[in-house]
Amino acid sequence: MTETTKKSGPACLTKLTDLNDLAKKSGKKRLAVAVAHDEHCLEAICAVAKMGLIEAILVGNEKKIKDIAANLKLDVKGMKIIDEEVDVNSVRIAVKMVRNKEADILMKGNVPTAVFLRGVLDKENGLRKGDVLSHFALFEVPTYPKLLGLTDAAMIPAPDFKTKVALTNNAVEFMNKLGYKKPKVAVLAAVEMVNEAMPATIEAAMLSKMGQRGQIKNCIIDGPLAYDNAISAASAKHKGIVSDVAGDADLLVVPDIEAGNILYKAFGFSCNAKLAAVILGAAAPIVLTSRSDTEESKQASIVMAAAI
């Protein structure tokens, strides 16, 4: 990823800090945090609140929240705290606030992911919008000239074709809201040729054709593309690939969670990439960070959710 590639238009973002400006233009957002008595969570929230980008509503054990804030010298005085010691109830309250438009963003605090997602996916009281919740990450990779999206690295283990269409649409819609009029989508496989023995290549070609026919809108999509073809113009040229996406991708769609998770962690741990990530497909953006994510990544994830 060393050679220069062209950017995908004036809306192209090159650094995660570009999200700060988008969030400022979008206006202050209300963030509801389920089970907010968590050190790393509170540190990230207070940092973003200090930037004037969010108004935080902390749902959880009030004593623990205030004790953490005192120990870490965090200012939570201006934040609304809803005292609730039971995790399930805390999730239910935070989800309800988002559903009732009393908050714009939902964030997971010190609660198991399964408990949190059960509240989000509750058929009667949750935040269901479509059939698929998917994970979207935006990376600032030092050797790539612009931010690079990735889906899905954390939610859907083995998506079938219908699910791949949905998670692609989720990511494209979100990137549209970030200002990308037509993000360039590379559907990844091990090779760039359709091979009947490799189902990922067939599904990638189907997604590409759907994009050409307008069944997947507001993006330019091509696949199958191997990873090197997607991000390296020199590699694409060497292999004779003629494509508006090859060598200039804005978004990578991976074949399954193994490929996505490996790529996600390789970017972070081997390439020193910075990242922001959200869960898409619900009625509002959801910030659900990993324990291994850095403090900077947690902050950037909140900012990205606030930027749309």
Q: Which CATH number covers residue 48?
A: 3.40.50.10950
Q: Are residues 194 and 291 in the same domain?
A: no
| Tens digit of each residue's pLDDT (9 = 90 or more) over 228-278 | 999 999 999 999 999 999 999 999 999 999 999 999 999 999 999 999 999
Q: Are residues 264 and 291 in the same domain?
A: no
Report how far apart, in Å, the C-alpha atoms of 212 and of each of 49, 176, 222 are. 42, 18, 9
Which residue segment(s) compose the domain that 199 sits in?
Answer: 135-277
Q: Which CATH number covers residue 205?
A: 3.40.718.10
- What is the C-alpha separation between 276 and 92, in angstroms, rounded? 25
Is the confidence at residue 198, as pLDDT, over 80? yes
**Under 8 Å between Cβ of 187 and 204:** yes
Burial status of residue 280 (CB atoms within 10 A of its CB: 0-12, 13-18, 19 or more): buried
Is the confidence at residue 11, as pLDDT, over 80? no
Q: Are residues 264 and 141 in the same domain?
A: yes
Residue 11 placed within a domain: no
pLDDT at 128: 86
Query: Which residues fall within 8 angstroms of residue 22, CB to CB, at 6 or more apart?
Result: 178, 179, 307, 308
pLDDT at 293: 76
Closest CA to 132 of 113, 155, 116: 155
Burial status of residue 248 (CB atoms within 10 A of its CB: 0-12, 13-18, 19 or more): buried
**Under 8 Å between Cβ of 249 and 231:** yes
Query: Which residues fall within 8 angstroms of residue 51, CB to CB, at 6 or more apart?
Result: 20, 303
Is the confidence at residue 206, as pLDDT, over 80? yes
pTM, entire model = 0.92
Total domains, the chain = 2
Q: Are residues 222 and 253 in the same domain?
A: yes
| Tens digit of each residue's pLDDT (9 = 90 or more) over 150-191 | 999 999 999 999 999 999 999 999 999 999 999 999 999 999
Residue 189 placed within a domain: yes
| Tens digit of each residue's pLDDT (9 = 90 or more) over 74-129 | 999 989 999 999 999 999 999 999 999 999 999 999 999 999 999 999 988 899 88
